[in-house]
């Protein structure tokens, strides 16, 4: 049994500093890319790829600390005002080869506010949605804390699925499928370049806290989903990769 909590335990949309459950998510090994990721390396690169990951702004349920996954809620007006102040963050400067967003309203609205000049070109992809919490959507921790199934899910979300919700394996499979497709497209784009310096592609991805945590766990080799924090709403975290010898690798710092 997990420790008693005063906050939602396994909730990707909550702030990073909240208490997390004591159980262990059974992490699968690295992404099933056609070419596996390697670790830091030096040498000539065929392609440099920068992924700029932005977390959406707050909705009413976020502010009320309710479980919010597949439910399609708009941003709060005050959240839009807060996001507008972040338009000049350095991660948004320059051009982007590709702009992707979850198709849920809170992500689409975040992109429209934070980078309005990029919204028209965005690809809205359902694979970037947050995990669905099923019957637990809209509930707060206090309504669930004594539910035996919820307690088992807190201990091991890979083994237990919320009623009517999304299984952990389905969530990770679709997120990893999105990334695999993006890397394949980037590699194909690099082959169109003729000579000169290796191309440097940038992709902007506006999505949810849980998706960003999963991406960082798998792409950036963070220790585990549970120990990986998402950025604050509207702020960015950047992952840099390079294609070398047909494999995606982490550049040496």
Give the pLDDT confidence score for residue 43 in this predicted structure: 53
Give 20 or 228, the one with higher predicted confidence.
Answer: 228
Name the token pair of 180: 């695999």
Cα dihedral 148/152/158/162 (nearest 10): 20
What per-residue confidence (pLDDT) applies to 93? 93
If you average pLDDT over every residue of the chain, what do you get?
83
Say what the pLDDT of residue 44 is: 61
Q: What is the pLDDT of residue 185?
A: 92
Highest mean pLDDT (candidates 190-199, 227-236, 239-248):
227-236
Token pair recorded at residue 158? 């890979």
Whether the predicted pLDDT of 221 surpasses 80: no
Instruction: Write the DSSP string, 146-186.
Output: T-HHHHHHHH-TTT---TTS--HHHHHHHHHHHHHHHHHHH
225 or 179, greater pLDDT = 179
pLDDT tens digits, one per residue of 6-52: 333 344 344 333 333 333 444 333 333 333 444 444 456 688 999 99
Residue pLDDT, tens place only, 86-126: 999 999 999 999 999 999 999 999 999 999 999 999 999 99
Percent of the chain scoring above 90 in pLDDT: 65
Residue 228's pLDDT band (cuts 50, 70, 90): confident
Residue with tokens 């830091």: 40
Residue 253 pLDDT exceeds 70:
no
CA angle, 75 then 164 then 8, to 5°? 55
User: Taking the model in full, what pTM does it have?
Assistant: 0.84
- Asked if residue 160 has pLDDT above 70, the reply is yes
Look at 65-74, 96-105, 181-190, 201-210 and tell me which has the smallest mean pLDDT.
Answer: 181-190
Which conformational region is residue 226 in: left (phi greater than 0), alpha (psi within -120 to 50 degrees), or beta? Answer: alpha
Residue 242 near residue 55 (C-beta atoms within 8 A): no
């Amino acid at each position: 049994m997990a420790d008693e909590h005063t906050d939602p335990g396994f909730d990707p949309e909550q702030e990073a500093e909240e208490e997390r459950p004591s159980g262990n998510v059974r992490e699968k090994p690295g992404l099933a890319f056609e070419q596996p990721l390697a670790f830091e390396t030096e040498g000539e690169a065929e392609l440099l790829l920068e992924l700029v990951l932005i977390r959406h702004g707050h909705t009413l349920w976020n502010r009320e600390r309710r479980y919010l996954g597949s439910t399609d809620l708009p941003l709060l007006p005050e959240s839009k005002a807060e996001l507008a102040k972040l338009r000049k963050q350095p991660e948004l400067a320059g051009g982007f080869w590709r702009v992707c967003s979850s198709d849920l309203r809170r992500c689409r609205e975040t992109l429209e506010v934070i980078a309005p000049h990029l919204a028209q070109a965005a690809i809205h992809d359902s694979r970037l949605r947050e995990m669905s919490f099923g019957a637990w959507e809209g509930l707060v921790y206090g309504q669930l804390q004594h539910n035996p199934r919820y307690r088992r899910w807190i201990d091991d979300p890979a083994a237990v699925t919320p009623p009517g919700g999304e299984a952990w394996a389905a969530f990770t499979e679709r997120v990893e499928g999105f990334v695999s497709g993006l890397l394949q497209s980037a590699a194909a784009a690099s082959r169109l370049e003729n000579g000169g310096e290796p191309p440097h592609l940038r992709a902007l991805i506006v999505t949810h806290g849980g998706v960003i945590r999963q991406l960082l766990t798998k792409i950036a080799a963070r220790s585990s989903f549970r120990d990986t924090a998402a950025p604050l709403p509207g702020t960015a975290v950047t992952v840099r990769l390079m294609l070398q010898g047909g494999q995606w690798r982490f550049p040496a710092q």
